[in-house]
């Protein structure tokens, strides 16, 4: 059984239909009652659709620009319904990978599937349910948000009645009739997210959606990403704001110099790299001096002191022993904070190791 989405030639309404290879079925648009026929290809390979649990599959992707290998034999998979972080320093190959994945540039070698469709054999089907926010987003500055989204609805064959609800959903209702040229960077990003939501895609690919935004706008964009994911969408986004990636993502992939150097959950990466939790212990009268018992304590890997704060890196199993030893030595402990390994630490360790 094959599932396809077709567009009514009269009202541009999208209709999902099912049939077997070679079937000819009658279709009636539920919106305008237009009738027509659709013929499913006789050869199943023409619609090569798989039913696995991955929204995005990239296998051995390589892209070369003249004498520069921008992406070198990269492979990773994004599961249905997860938020997936794609990380790397500037020039690592993130945007090139995303553009190849969306068919915006041709790859030299490799195979990519979106929702089970091969992006070369089934180009149209693979891109039907993707919402894409580019790293640098441009709109016609003399248009309003309503006019802008009306334009995208026409391009995507969608009913324009969705435009005002979308603008309200991303929080731009007060700017509905203002020119986009007057918008701040954050407002443009929200309009970009509204544009990606046209057609209710099942996959969102967001290239640096929080770049250049202040803390308030970062939170708003983060909330919108969570909202889309809670509705069942798969989210893949690249970002330099590692704390946001750690807050949002189920898994991450890290690319450097065109090569994939890691793909896993943040806890697993930290475990693999042997990054230990940190303790911050406030001790009355410490005055920047590390107690002698800490300098010789078994299981403590790093230690330092600043003012009345003692900083310790050690295994989780050692933390209680350290605190108990300090108390027995008559140190007055005022406060204790524990910091689990961060994505930033894993990222830096991996990039430095790759160099």
Domains annotated on the chain, with CATH: 2-47 (no CATH), 54-270 (3.40.50.300), 278-339 (3.30.70)
| pLDDT confidence band for 353 (50 / 70 / 90) | low
Question: What are the C-alpha distances in Å from 31 to residues 13, 17, 27, 198?
Answer: 7, 15, 12, 18
| pLDDT confidence band for 47 (50 / 70 / 90) | very low
Cβ 281 vs Cβ 333: under 8 Å: yes
Which pLDDT does position 49 carry in this prediction? 45
Distance CA 310, CA 291 (A): 9
Cβ 270 vs Cβ 339: under 8 Å: no
**206-225 tens-digit pLDDT:** 998 887 777 888 888 888 89
Q: Name all contacts of 152-156 with Cβ < 8 Å and 24+ positions apart.
A: 152/195, 152/198, 153/198, 156/198, 156/199
Alpha helix locations (H) across the chain?
94-101, 123-127, 145-156, 163-169, 185-197, 215-230, 242-248, 266-272, 292-295, 316-328, 343-354
* pTM score: 0.68
């Amino acid at each position: 059984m094959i599932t396809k989405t077709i567009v009514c030639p009269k009202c541009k309404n999208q209709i999902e239909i099912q049939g077997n290879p070679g079937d000819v079925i009658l279709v009636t648009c539920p919106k305008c009652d237009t009738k027509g026929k659709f013929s499913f290809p006789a050869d199943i390979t023409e619609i090569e659709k798989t039913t696995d649990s991955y929204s995005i599959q990239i296998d051995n992707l390589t892209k070369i620009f003249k004498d520069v290998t921008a992406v070198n034999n990269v492979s990773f998979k994004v599961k249905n319904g997860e938020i997936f972080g794609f990380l790397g320093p500037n020039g690592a190959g993130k945007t090139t990978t995303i553009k190849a994945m969306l068919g915006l540039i041709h790859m030299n070698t490799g195979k990519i599937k979106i929702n089970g469709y091969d992006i070369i054999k089934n180009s149209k089907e693979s891109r039907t349910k993707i919402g894409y926010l580019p790293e640098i987003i441009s709109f016609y500055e003399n248009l309003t948000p309503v006019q802008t989204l009306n334009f995208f609805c026409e391009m995507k064959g969608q009913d324009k009645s969705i435009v005002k609800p979308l603008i309200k959903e991303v929080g731009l209702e007060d700017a509905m009739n203002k020119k986009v040229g007057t918008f701040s960077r954050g407002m443009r990003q929200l309009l970009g997210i509204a544009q990606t939501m046209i057609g209710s895609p099942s996959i969102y690919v967001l290239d640096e959606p929080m770049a250049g935004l202040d803390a308030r706008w970062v939170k708003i964009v983060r909330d919108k990403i969570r909202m889309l994911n809670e509705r069942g969408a798969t989210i893949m986004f690249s970002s330099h704001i590692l704390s946001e990636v750690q807050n949002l993502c189920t898994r991450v992939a890290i690319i450097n110099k065109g090569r994939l150097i890691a793909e896993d959950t943040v806890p697993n990466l930290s475990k693999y790299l042997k990054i230990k939790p940190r303790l911050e212990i406030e001790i009355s009268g410490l005055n920047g001096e590390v107690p002698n018992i800490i300098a010789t304590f078994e299981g403590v890997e790093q230690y330092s002191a600043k003012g009345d704060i003692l900083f310790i890196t050690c295994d989780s199993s050692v933390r209680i022993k350290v605190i108990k030893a300090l108390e027995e030595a008559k140190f007055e402990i005022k406060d204790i904070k524990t910091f689990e390994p961060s994505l930033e630490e894993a990222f830096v360790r991996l990039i430095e190791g790759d160099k």
